[in-house]
Chains A and B, each alone.
Chain A
Amino acid sequence: MNTLFESVKKQSVASITFNIIVLLTVIICFLPLIPGLSGLGFAAFGYIPAIDKYTFSLDGFTDLLAWPGLQQSILLTLFVGIASTLLSALCCFAILQSCWRSRWWHKIETLLAPIMALPHVAFAIGFAFLFTPSGFIARIFGEQINLQLVHDQYGLGLIAALTLKEIPFLLFMSIPLLKQLNINTTLITAKSLGYNNAQAWQKIILPQWLPKIRFSLFAVMAYSISVVDVALIIGPTRPPTLSVLVWQWLNDADLATLPKASAGALVLLVICLIILLSIRASEWLITIKCRTWQTNGRFSLPIGGKTIISVTYLITLITLPILMLWTFAQRWRFPDIIPSRWSLRFWQQEWTYLLEIIANSIMIAVISATIALFFAIVIHEHSIKATTNKRFLKVPRLLISIPMLAPQLSLLFGIQVATLYIANQYYYLWVIWAHIFFAFPYIFLALDGPWRSYDQRLDKVALSLGMSPFKTWWKVKGPLLLPAIWIAWAVGISVSLAQYLPTLMLGAGRISTLTTEAVALSSGQDRRISAIYALLQSLTPFVFYIIAIVASRRSGSLEQQPSTSTSTSTSKIRVTTRNVSVSQQSKHP
């Protein structure tokens, strides 16, 4: 009797502690939204104390609408966002269909790390080195190859670069999902029912993959709509995309453009939301509403996943040696294939400063990614509780994704003012907090698929065998999800390493990271120096991806033991679930 009482008490203490942690998470991860969004709203409607505007007005919007070229800019933004998201999703699925568990799959997975690790800015710089009319490709093939992909009118170069950069991200996110989808069983079953491989993938796996990858697609879409740095390097210029316009207005020396900038930022946010809803709607159409194509067995689309993956890897990886060459080039003039004069000067000049900057970047990234990871796990667990127990409020997904979807600059202006009112001299505190805030949604998203696919019945079994909820997590769920957790951590680190604006604005420039230096230097167009920073910017996250991949292989759950075919021993241990339904299986006792 006593022991029972004790265990009840223990449980309630544990659940109170857990609820306190949830509350803390909500405060840390969502509190900045209040000053961020309200600051944006106030500024958009003309209330900006900074420039002595204390009355509400629609001047910002009038200025915005009067801007020549606004419609084209918005259309361009939509085009870039939708095209790159669609393309990367299609390409990713094509690759999965053609290569999943094939002979090359192991190679593809191994190579994902360096490809993923390459930051957008570094990739954009490399992409430009390749594709300008005086770029590497023109140097090799001669001038008849006149690619106008950099700064072209329709943003095709920007779409190409974003797509190439997002395919690996989506692949990366799909791996843990597919591992939990029992692909092999599905394919065998489908074959026995007379479907060929392509049909099975497109009609059975696609509808399951799509809802799970949804959040990643949101992230890709939001990123391509609100990206500033990449768009500046290779995007269209007449007019530029809306995010670039907003960035330029916010950075205008004349502070009177602030209302227009804030109104633009608000419009950008609305555009993001509209497209986000349309992605959700089209997913619903494909998977729920119009399902006849899934059962109509005749038709399937042929797709060349192998070609796509080769092209993606080739273009991405070739940028690295070119960047490397540039770092040693004293003189490298068009149309030379290799530099005519070499020099170690740039490395020597920067080296002493670089070490400090690298250490600083890594420290911030590890701290913020680890904290954000902990919070993301807490929120996921809380969501599961909230679904089963109606007393809890669920944290809405949209709220979680706002930091990912809202243009950073607009949120940051409000956040920055808030820190000034409190105590802005704690620069590291604010920067790390901001990194947690912006990395959190990505980590949450990286864990989203695995958490949804986790078989809840394992927990039920463990609990019914008398384990405490915490022990159940620690002994059963944690180990099974550890590979996904490692990967999410690496994603968080790379997100933190890539943060430019939060570091600059909240760190008041007193905190230098590889990214802040790289962006500042890129404005000077000195290819040699830009290349050094771009290279190191790629190398740092790469190291962490390698760590994460090795660790996740080591901690591999049952399905991840390296094997060419799923051995029978694992399938005996595994609690198989019917892979047709993706809904929570809480209905089953």
Chain B
Amino acid sequence: MRKLFVSLSLLVISAFSQATTLDWQAVEQKAKGQTVYFYAWGGSPEINNYLRWVDKRLNSEYGVRLTHVKVGDIAEAITRLAAEKTAKKNTNGSVDMVWVNGENFKSMKRYNLITDSFATQLPNWQYVDKTLPVDSDFSEPTLGLEAPWGVGQLVFIYDTETLTAPPTSFNDMLAYAIKHPNKLSYPKPPSFHGTSFLKAALLELTNDNSPLYLPVDNKTFASISAPLWDYLDKFHTVAWRKGKQFPASAAETIQLLDDGELDIAISFNPNEATTSQQSGKLSETATAYAMQAGALSNIHFLSIPWNATAKEGALVAINFLLSPEAQSRKGDLAIWGDPTVLAPQYITGSAKNTKLFKSIPEPHPSWQTALEAEWQKRYGH
């Protein structure tokens, strides 16, 4: 009986992980000549140029074209997929591949907008660093519905010329702001980086952060999140423009740091300070650091919609993006500088030098929505 139970549960597990086995040769064969429409944020010239290189390489190697559809926010693609779902358009969809994580992935999963599990069956899956939390996305199990692409860590950037000892905890940050008013801020939630700032602050300010890894309970939300609001009430009075205005995005904090309006900028890429220097956006003296407690860390992923037209092409593209060559180039400080998801021994070039900070895992995704709503209620108007 017990044996039966074990084998049954094994069957269930394998059904999840191996919904379909990919015949890779057939995939490559079918992919030839396909054009993959890849929906991805298009705000960074560095990333766009990297993707142009990927297109060239894919074309010469596999006969696959990769067209980067530049969106201001990937949620636009999700809205589009939802519309296609409404119209029961289950084949010939317009989106072949998306760059997602967190809230967007949760939405795609919830409304069944993703193709069958594929990630663990990619030939290059073998290179992926399994010590990274590649099977969960903001604590949402990925189940192979998306493949990891890079690592994000919430870091802070400052200019060593104007600031010698940056604050390494949120309490220090408040102390610094009291001493130097009008010089610190964070992107306005619900922007991705703004909400991340709130989460990181709460993780540090609360005495016990274990409830943050469980779904939000409306009964205890007020008491658990209270330290954060007390903190922000004090912080806003001495923040940039007295907390009456906030930067719109992380990119804007970098611009404001360079303009001398802010003393500290925020980013999810530990190498952003270096790549921004190379492209002329920051001075040579800018450098990144993480809080003493560690850096809020997450992984960003690639996924394929259920109705993708060039499904095979997308698989080939994702597999190539997980190759040591593509990952090494992505991590190159002169190219993009995005940390790799592969095991370090496969990486070459300047990407090798990327050192990740001590990581703090993302809280349960329900906290994101709850914190955003509460922030809006208190400070959004």
Bound together, the chains give a CA A520 to CA B85 distance in angstroms of 25
Q: Mark B237-266, 1 if CB is under 8 A from A, else 0.
A: 000010011101101101110111100000
Q: Which of B72, B188, B190 contacts A523 (CB 8 A)?
A: B72
Is the C-beta of A193 less than 8 angstroms from some C-beta in chain B? Answer: no
Interface size class of A (residues with CB under 8 A): 35 or more
Please provide the chain A residues from 524 to 539 with a CB less than 8 Å away from any CB of chain B in the complex: 524-529
Q: Tell me the minimal C-beta distance from A413 to chain B in angstroms.
A: 7
Bound together, the chains give a CA A470 to CA B188 distance in angstroms of 60
CB of B45 within 8 A of CB of A510, answer: no
Is the C-beta of B86 less than 8 angstroms from some C-beta in chain A? Answer: yes
> 10 more A-B contacts (CB under 8 A) besides A73-B381, A133-B259?
A48-B86, A134-B260, A237-B248, A251-B79, A417-B86, A420-B86, A420-B87, A510-B67, A517-B70, A526-B279
CB of B73 within 8 A of CB of A251, answer: yes
Q: Mark B31-45, 1 if CB is under 8 A from A, else 0.
A: 000000101011111
Inter-chain contacts of A258 with B (CB < 8 A):
82
Contacts A134-B261, A333-B258, A424-B89 given; indicate if A523 touches B83 (C-beta within 8 A).
no
Contacts A151-B245, A417-B86, A510-B37 given; indicate if A68 touches B71 (C-beta within 8 A).
no
Please provide the chain B residues from 356 to 381 with a CB less than 8 Å away from any CB of chain A in the complex: 369, 376-377, 379-381
Give 5 nearest A-B pairs by CB, closest first: A524-B43, A69-B381, A509-B69, A508-B94, A420-B87
Is the C-beta of A250 less than 8 angstroms from some C-beta in chain B? Answer: yes
Please provide the chain A residues from 504 to 526 with a CB less than 8 Å away from any CB of chain B in the complex: 504-505, 508-510, 512, 516-517, 519-526
CB of B259 within 8 A of CB of A134, answer: yes
Inter-chain contacts of B261 with A (CB < 8 A):
133-134
Bound together, the chains give a CA A519 to CA B72 distance in angstroms of 7
Bound together, the chains give a CA A196 to CA B237 distance in angstroms of 57
CB of A523 within 8 A of CB of B37, answer: no
CB of B255 within 8 A of CB of A527, answer: yes
6 contacts between A and B (CB under 8 A): A251-B75, A349-B49, A417-B87, A508-B80, A520-B41, A522-B43
Q: Tell me the minimal C-beta distance from A150 to chain B in angstroms.
A: 9
Q: Tell me the minimal C-beta distance from A380 to chain B in angstroms.
A: 35
Q: Tell me the minimal C-beta distance from A251 to chain B in angstroms.
A: 5
Inter-chain contacts of B73 with A (CB < 8 A):
251, 523
Where the two chains meet, the residues of A that have a C-beta atom closer than 8 Å to any C-beta of B are 48-52, 67-69, 72-73, 132-134, 148, 151-153, 232, 237-239, 248, 250-255, 258, 329-331, 333-334, 341, 343, 346, 349, 353, 413, 416-417, 420-421, 424-425, 427, 504-505, 508-510, 512, 516-517, 519-529
Interface size class of B (residues with CB under 8 A): 35 or more
CB of A329 within 8 A of CB of B280, answer: yes
Q: Which of A132, A417, A525 contacts B249 (CB 8 A)?
A: A525
Bound together, the chains give a CA A153 to CA B43 distance in angstroms of 26
Contacts A134-B259, A349-B49, A509-B37 given; indicate if A520 touches B72 (C-beta within 8 A).
yes
Inter-chain contacts of A134 with B (CB < 8 A):
256, 259-261
Q: Which of A48, A72, A254 contacts B381 (CB 8 A)?
A: A72
Q: Which of A67, A331, A343, A420 contacts B89 (CB 8 A)?
A: A420
Inter-chain contacts of A349 with B (CB < 8 A):
45, 49
Q: Tell me the minimal C-beta distance from B13 to chain A in angstroms.
A: 29
Inter-chain contacts of A251 with B (CB < 8 A):
73, 75-76, 79
Inter-chain contacts of A73 with B (CB < 8 A):
381
Bound together, the chains give a CA A52 to CA B110 distance in angstroms of 11
Q: Mark B78-118, 1 if CB is under 8 A from A, else 0.
A: 11101111110100101100000011101100010000000
CB of B43 within 8 A of CB of A526, answer: yes
Q: Which of A51, A237, A504 contacts B111 (CB 8 A)?
A: A51
Q: Tell me the minimal C-beta distance from A250 to chain B in angstroms.
A: 7
Contacts A523-B41, A524-B43 given; indicate if A413 touches B83 (C-beta within 8 A).
yes
